[in-house]
């Protein structure tokens, strides 16, 4: 009998087909929303599961799902996983690194451009029929080329953004990270390490690409926003919770910074309503990795992790090292 796996959210049919060669597949192409208790019920008898960032895998769920051996997150971020609890339960955790790096870096840059050059704000103005006359200062924004970009979180995606900024737009790139890059990587990225305070005080544009954890919660709050230049912009493509959204909305309202571009939010898909009432913010619905090619690659990598782990006992992109399979 084939093992059974659960695919928690809708996914490309071809990815389901590749799973069906190895497993009985319970899919959710109808995109039903499950409460934690319903998710536990769905996972009974399942050896593996594909999740997205919205399904929480914690000790309570693991205790109630003794058949589960592997959970593959279709995301590079995995703050919906309690990895130590998964390790303790002997459950393999995997994510989807690398396949989304360049696509996500492209999007970070797109959000930076849209924010600095006030693209969505001016589009709303045109759509609302308000454009009657051209003016010299209409939607005049901030310079991107030649300006200083400060990147907080210099992993693969941060490095991709740095390369675009330094080599494509002649920007000075400064970064802050838990660890310094090697001198070779710093040279490739055209980036210089600085303290968080120096970054916030000197950057014309601040880009957040740091993974979410208890330590990175509210990396940017009222105190950090107060350090930024009034002309500066802030882009968050990292995770909701990295920024204190209420403090940001207030800073935007009072024009203490010039603008922000946000792809992720505290408590998403709900948004802090204050963000909806300020014009100087570009809002997108967590789509930084959303090209068809990249989303297919992410889904296939998640599926391949289930296949590799359940047939050979070795995941392709593991997040935890397991002593033994349960």
Residues that bind ligand GLV (CB under 6 A): 53, 75-77, 100, 289
Distance between CA 137 and CA 191 in Å, rounded?
Answer: 33
The residue number whose beta carbon is nearest to ligand GLV equals: 77
Q: Give the burial class of 94: count Cβ atoms within 10 A of its Cβ; 0-12 exposed, 13-18 middle, 19 or more buried.
A: buried
Residue number with CB closer to ligand GLV (73 or 233): 73
Active site residue 239: yes
In the bound state with ligand GLV, the residue whose beta carbon lies nearer, of 71 and 100, is 100
Query: Tokens 């914690």 sit at which residue?
Result: 58
The token pair at 95 is: 């994510």
In terms of CB distance, is 147 or 177 closer to ligand GLV? 177
- Report helix, strand or coil for 92: strand
Q: Nearer Cβ to ligand GLV, position 227 or 287?
A: 287
SS3 state of residue 322:
coil
Between 19 and 76, whose beta carbon lies closer to ligand GLV?
76
CB-nearer residue toward ligand GLV: 54 or 201: 54
- Report in angstroms how near the CB of residue 234 gets to ligand GLV at its nearest: 18
In whole angstroms, how close is the CB of 76 to ligand GLV at the nearest point?
4
Exposed, middle or buried, 200 (CB in 10 Å: 0-12/13-18/19+)?
buried
In whole angstroms, the minimum distance from the beta carbon of 212 to ligand GLV comes to 9
- Tell me which of 9, 239, 266, 295 is the catalytic residue: 239
How does DSSP assign 2-19, residue by residue? --EEEE-S---HHHHHHH
- What does the DSSP 8-state code read for residue 68? -
For the CB of residue 153, give the shortest distance to ligand GLV in the complex, in Å.
Answer: 12
From the candidates 268, 324, 325, 326, give the one annotated as an active-site residue.
268
Distance, in Å, from the CA atom of 248 to the CA atom of 260, rounded to the nearest integer, reads 8
The distance of closest approach from Cβ of residue 281 to ligand GLV in the complex, given in angstroms and rounded to an integer, is 19
Alpha helices in 118-234 (DSSP H): 119-127, 156-163, 183-189, 196-202, 222-227
Q: Which of 117, 118, 176, 286 is catalytic?
A: 286
CB 203 within 8 A of CB 191: no
* Positive or negative: CA dihedral 120, 125, 126, 129: positive
Tell me whether residue 77 or residue 190 sits nearer to ligand GLV (CB atom). 77
- Count Cα atoms within 13 angstroms, Cβ side, for 180: 9
180 annotated active-site = no
286 is catalytic: yes
- Edge-to-edge, what's the strand order for the sheet holding 48-51? 24-26, 4-7, 48-51, 70-73, 92-94
CB of 16 to ligand GLV, least distance (A): 20
Neighbours of 69 (CB within 10 A): 23
CB 262 within 8 A of CB 283: yes
Q: How far is the CB of 81 from ligand GLV (least distance, A)?
A: 11
Active site residues: 239, 268, 286
């Amino acid at each position: 009998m084939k093992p059974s796996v659960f695919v928690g959210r809708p996914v490309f049919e071809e990815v389901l087909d590749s799973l069906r060669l190895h497993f009985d597949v319970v899919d959710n192409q109808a995109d039903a929303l499950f409460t934690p208790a319903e998710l536990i019920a769905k996972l009974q008898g399942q050896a593996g599961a594909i999740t997205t960032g919205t399904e929480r895998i914690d000790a309570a769920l693991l205790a109630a799902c003794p058949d589960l051996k592997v959970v593959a997150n279709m995301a590079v971020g995995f703050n919906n996983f309690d990895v130590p609890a998964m390790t303790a339960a002997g459950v393999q955790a995997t994510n989807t690194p690398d396949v989304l790096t360049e696509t996500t870096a492209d999007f970070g840059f797109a959000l930076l451009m849209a924010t600095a050059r006030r693209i969505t704000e001016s589009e709303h103005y045109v759509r609302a029929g308000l454009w009657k006359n051209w003016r010299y200062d209409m939607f005049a924004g901030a310079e991107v080329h030649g300006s200083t970009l400060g990147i907080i979180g210099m992993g693969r995606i941060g490095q991709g953004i740095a390369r675009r900024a330094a080599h494509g737009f002649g920007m000075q790139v400064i970064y802050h990270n838990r660890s310094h890059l090697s001198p070779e990587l710093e040279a490739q990225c055209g980036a210089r390490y600085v303290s968080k305070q120096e970054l916030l005080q000197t950057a014309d544009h601040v880009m957040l690409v740091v993974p979410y954890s208890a330590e990175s919660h509210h990396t940017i709050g009222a105190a950090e926003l107060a350090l930024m230049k009034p002309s500066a912009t802030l882009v968050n493509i990292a995770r909701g919770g990295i920024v204190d959204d209420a403090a940001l909305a207030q800073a935007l309202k009072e024009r203490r910074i010039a603008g922000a571009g946000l792809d992720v939010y505290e408590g998403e898909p709900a948004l802090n309503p204050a963000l909806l009432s300020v014009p100087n913010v570009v809002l997108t619905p967590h789509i930084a990795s959303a090209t068809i090619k990249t989303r297919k690659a992410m889904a296939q990598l998640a599926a391949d992790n289930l296949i590799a782990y359940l047939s050979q006992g070795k995941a392709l992109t593991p997040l935890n090292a397991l002593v033994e399979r349960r």
